[in-house]
Amino acid sequence: MNLKRQLFLASLLMLLIPWAGLQFVLELDEALRTQAAEQVQEQARRMAQTTGDLLIGTDVVEQGTPVIYAQPVDQPPRLDGYGDDWPGYDEELSHQQWQALPATTENSALRWQAVTDQRHLYLLVRVQRPDITYFDPGSPARLHDRLRLIQQTNGEVSERLIRTPAPGSLYASIPGQDDEPDYRVTGRWETVEQGYQLELQLPLPPRGSRLGLVAEWPQDGGYGSAGTELDPPPVVVRRLPAVERELASQLAGGQHLQVVEPDGWVIARQTLASRNRRPEFDTLSPLQVVEQIALNGLRALVRFYQPEPQPVDNTANLLDPHTLPQQGLVRHRDGETLLMVTQPVFNGRTLVLEQSLNQLLALSGNALGSVIARSTLLVVALMLILLGYVSWLSWRITRLQRAVSASVDDDGRIVGTLPPTRARDELGQLHQHFGQMVNRLHGYNDYLESFSRRLSHELKTPVAVVRSSLDNLRHADSAQDRDSYIARAASATDRLSQILNGMSEAARLEQSFDHAEKEHFDLAEVLAQATRAYQELDRTHRISYQGPPAGAPMNGSPELIVQLLDKLVDNARDFTPADGRIQVTLAVSARWLDLSVFNEGSQLPDRPGSDIFAPFISHRNRSQDGHLGQGLLIVRLITEHHGGRVRADNDTDGVRFTVSLPRQS
């Protein structure tokens, strides 16, 4: 699995933050719903007691009682006979606002709607009659289509007749010999498809009154009828404004209240809108728009994990109290989810109180939900940034990999160098280290490629000398000649031995470190004595020591330090011209003893100074025999054995090698 996928999977763990937040919100939402249910239930008990007190003395509409339900309206309808301005008007008689008795052949011909503005009662009556016979004022005894209004109030019964000689405006008449008109009951008669339709206005009957509607038409020498001529007639049921006003003061924001009769008719309904209003879109900043989108998503998730709500038609005037949950979630026709509780009221009525969950979601949504929404957006943004950063790192690593691969051919030969980089981070340092490694390997490969030639050149001369000496020895006649050839062969053999010893000296030195014993000695005295010995043995160069004669204590092996100095001075001799200056210097500081060897002559190539301390690296010309590039490697090994460091630098007119060794306190 590559680095990008690993970091992608690791970044997915950041999603645990919003997931844990969502779990907390769900638990908080459940706790809030439980607490809200208890509070709403207690509120419903108080309101049920208030409702019972307000309804003392009012008649209860028992189950099965015929009812004419008058829905409240703010504006009275226009009496034009068409009913277009009536709430829920449906010309096809399929809407629930149309009322009728239980379906029979006769009753199916009559449908009605009733509304009230708390001053008058308005009726919209539809009668299905294929042929209409209108009232003839010249022959009042002639049978005709008519509507009888039968009102019963406090035991007294009154009746009004609605009839007309032609479609249009009308008023009621009081049945009797003179058919006295009653101008308080007015309306309009209009012909509709398969019948006629009446729109009437009459005084609002007192509470508890009954009203019968009977449509009559000529049939078999008498009158056929359809309607509500029952004993007693249907009860006029309407909402009670006084009860609604009293209960409205006890509602909280986002609550809906209904009081229903035992048969399910709503006699009180009140709603208090939520106080939390959504902000206008134009007033939101882009960040707030994104936050609102995330918050809506959070609310949708909360609703998804909530129990399935029961659908309830909050606009219906007739509810079945037996199907309503005593406590639980319901959903209105507009899609709003609410918490419903029911509470019995005196005389078998039921109080239904609903609390909008938007209020609860506001508690767990707007406050904590806003934080979670923001954290989710922040996590997603961080994931995208992290993935982009990972892609960038992956691209850099891939580029470095290709550069390294391009610098090495299929045979393992270094054929190029790595391009420079300006990056200063760990990958930049890795790039630089790879570049140094490739450069070292390039030098090492160059040396290996020339090693066989150099070794062959080094061995060719002594081998040729040995071979020629042996050939000449075979043909020598005198003892003097034989001694001469034997001496030449021995000298060539010694030369071969020196070359082989030089090749294995570094390996033997590393093995000797395990047995070398360290002791306390004065480095200044050792350097001063060794420098004087170098000057006495080499009169062709000016070798001197500069530094304190004593006072440079250290812990180590004096023999190895002298061997280190031998290699540095021998290396300096090889590059110093005749009568050139070689200077051994010692500088003493609080922690370090800096031993340096300077020699006049040619300078180092433009390469890092540490390269020349690697194995098999030599900057001598091929004409210089006997040097296989092991001397400075030995210097580095001895230095590291003593815990120091070594470097080579070009000076003004030569080269300076500096060995820093820890000072013994």
Instruction: Return averaged pLDDT per consecutive 10 residues of the chain, 665 residues in all.
Output: 66 70 74 84 93 87 86 91 84 68 60 92 91 90 92 90 94 86 94 91 92 91 80 87 92 91 91 71 69 69 77 86 83 86 90 82 52 69 76 82 82 78 80 81 71 70 84 83 85 78 66 76 93 90 93 91 91 90 93 93 66 59 50 86 90 90 85
- Relative orientation angle of helices 479-512 and 426-475, to the nearest 10 degrees: 160
Domain match, 452 and 542 both: no
Domain match, 589 and 635 both: yes
User: Do 214 and 227 touch, CB atoms closer than 8 A?
Assistant: yes
Q: Would 635 be classed as within a structural domain?
A: yes
Q: Where are the beta strands (DSSP E) in 518-569?
A: 519-522, 542-546, 553-556
- Tokens 């090889």 -> residue: 574
Domain termination site, one of 191, 219, 238:
238
Give helix then strand counts, H and E, for the chain.
11, 24
Range of the domain at 438: 412-512
CB atoms inside a 10 Å sphere around CB 575? 19
Q: Would 314 be classed as within a structural domain?
A: yes
Nearest to 184 by CA among 198, 201, 162: 201
Domain match, 443 and 545 both: no
Q: Which are the contacts of 603, defined by CB distance < 8 A and separation ≥ 6?
A: 650, 651, 654, 655
Domain match, 529 and 625 both: yes
Q: How far apart are CA 648 and CA 659, in angstroms?
A: 9
Q: Would 42 be classed as within a structural domain?
A: yes
**Half-sphere exposure of 388 toward its Cβ, with a 13 Å CA cutoff?**
6
201-205 contacts, C-beta under 8 A, 24 or more apart: 201/76, 201/79, 201/120, 201/121, 201/122, 202/120, 202/121, 202/123, 202/149, 202/160, 202/172, 203/120, 203/121, 204/116, 204/118, 204/119, 204/120, 204/121, 205/121, 205/151, 205/153, 205/236
Pairing, β 195-203 against β 222-227: unpaired
Q: Which are the contacts of 338, defined by CB distance < 8 A and separation ≥ 6?
A: 256, 309, 329, 330, 331, 332, 354, 355, 356, 357
Say whether 508 sits in a helix, a strand or coil. helix
Instruction: Supply the CATH number for residue 298's domain.
Output: 3.30.450.20
- Per-residue model confidence (pLDDT) at position 473: 82
Domain termination site, one of 207, 238, 269:
238
Q: Which are the contacts of 437, defined by CB distance < 8 A and separation ≥ 6?
A: none
- Per-residue model confidence (pLDDT) at position 518: 85
User: Do 107 and 227 touch, CB atoms closer than 8 A?
Assistant: yes
Domain match, 484 and 567 both: no
Nearest to 141 by CA among 225, 218, 224, 229: 218
Domain match, 583 and 658 both: yes
Q: Would 386 be classed as within a structural domain?
A: no
In b/e form, how buried is each residue of 613-624, taking b as 16+ CB within 10 angstroms? bbebbbbeeeee
Domain match, 546 and 451 both: no
Number of domains in the chain: 4
Q: Would 396 be classed as within a structural domain?
A: no
Q: Which are the contacts of 309, defined by CB distance < 8 A and separation ≥ 6?
A: 328, 329, 330, 331, 337, 338
Q: Where do the H-state alpha helices sit in 407-522? A: 426-475, 479-512
- Per-residue model confidence (pLDDT) at position 356: 85
Domain match, 115 and 176 both: yes
Domain match, 482 and 525 both: no
Q: Would 591 be classed as within a structural domain?
A: yes
Instruction: Supply the CATH number for residue 638's domain.
Output: 3.30.565.10
Pairing, β 195-203 against β 120-128: antiparallel
Domain match, 305 and 339 both: yes
Domain match, 486 and 569 both: no
> What does the DSSP 8-state code read for residue 99?
B
Domain match, 233 and 131 both: yes
User: Do 4 and 369 touch, CB atoms closer than 8 A?
Assistant: no
Torsion of CA 633, 637, 643, 649, to 10 degrees: -10
- Per-residue model confidence (pLDDT) at position 4: 63
Nearest to 226 by CA among 100, 334, 131: 100
- Per-residue model confidence (pLDDT) at position 352: 94
Say whether 401 sits in a helix, a strand or coil. helix
Q: Would 379 be classed as within a structural domain?
A: no
Q: Would 336 be classed as within a structural domain?
A: yes
Average pLDDT, the chain: 82
Q: What is the pLDDT of residues 5-62, one digit of tens each?
A: 766 676 677 667 667 767 777 777 777 778 888 889 999 999 999 999 998 878 888 8
pTM > 0.85: no
User: Do 600 and 581 touch, CB atoms closer than 8 A?
Assistant: yes
Domain termination site, one of 214, 238, 262:
238
Instruction: Supply the CATH number for residue 159's domain.
Output: 2.60.40
Q: Please state the φ and ψ torsions of residue 82, each to the nearest 5 degrees.
A: -105, -30
User: Do 44 and 343 touch, CB atoms closer than 8 A?
Assistant: yes
User: Do 359 and 276 touch, CB atoms closer than 8 A?
Assistant: yes
β-strand partners of 181:
173
Q: How far apart are CA 6 and CA 26, in angstroms?
A: 31
Q: How far apart are CA 90 and CA 98, in angstroms?
A: 8
